[in-house]
Amino acid sequence: MSSTAQERKTWQQTKSEKTRTLIMEAAVRCFYEQGYANTATDNIAVAAGVSRGAMLHHFPTRFDLIRATVEHLSKQRLDIYEAQEAEVQRGAVYTRIEEGIDAYWRQLNTPLFVVFQELMIAARTDKDLEKVLKPALEAFEVARYETTKRIFPDLALSEAFSRANYLTRFLLEGMVVSNRIDGPKVPVKKMLLWLKRELRRSFQDVLGRVERPAQSR
């Protein structure tokens, strides 16, 4: 293959990838603004600014689009989690518990998490969505756990590490979901303060005793 042909192929691949990403990002916006059940592929094509033909070229079926969007959403959430939590811990000798919790709380109060929650609820009665979402969730949780161990290497040495991760995840995610429906509001400040204190207590076997590796600072 000539260098010109290789350059053309690379350009075409790049253009194709950008279009796919544009469509998937439009899908996430539509799910957030209109709801998963109310979003048709035509709505997504309009939001992405592409023709129906272009949409079908990249995603021949709705199932193909949903699967790709779920994977895209999972990657975005994981990338943001890793980047923001790592930035919070930059230069820290011991893990900054409070700042890490605040960063995670902010991540959960975004359209990315809201859409993920809506998809989980919709999957109960949408079997095609369930086929996509279940393995994606399993892969996401494994990847997030491994990422958490890399970001918090000192805490990962504690016997409380796994339990504390479950506590943080279920408490904060549950608080976000509860706050998005009408009814008694969660006392966010009080619960965040309690969680931070509880995590400090849980990690007392390593926190302030075991320094973070130099490469993690």
CA distance 94 to 193: 19
Give Cα separations from 73 to 119, 120, 121 (angstroms).
11, 13, 16
Q: What's the CATH fold of domain 65-216?
A: Tetracycline Repressor; domain 2 (1.10.357)
Pick the CATH number of 1-60 from 3.40.50.300, 1.10.10.60, 2.60.40.60, 1.10.10.10: 1.10.10.60
Query: For the chain, which residues make up each domain, given as ranges?
Result: 1-60, 65-216
CA distance 213 to 178: 38
CA terminus-to-terminus distance, the chain:
46
Q: Do domains 1-60 and 65-216 have the same CATH topology?
A: no
User: 83-115 in b/e burial notation, b at 16+ Cβ within 10 A?
Assistant: ebbeebbeebebbbbbebbebbbebbeeebbbb
Specify the pLDDT at position 6.
57
- Which residues fall within 8 angstroms of residue 62, CB to CB, at 6 or more apart? 41, 128
State the average pLDDT for the chain: 92
pTM of the predicted structure, to 2 decimals: 0.88
List pLDDT tens digits, range 11-59: 778 888 999 999 999 999 999 999 999 999 999 999 999 999 999 999 9
Specify the pLDDT at position 9.
62
CA distance 99 to 89: 8
CA distance 200 to 208: 10
The residue behind tokens 């893990």 is 95
Specify the pLDDT at position 174.
93
Which parts of the chain sit beneath pLDDT 70?
1-9, 182-183
List pLDDT tens digits, range 77-91: 999 999 999 999 999
Specify the pLDDT at position 176.
93
Specify the pLDDT at position 3.
58
Specify the pLDDT at position 8.
59
Percent pLDDT > 90 in the chain is: 85
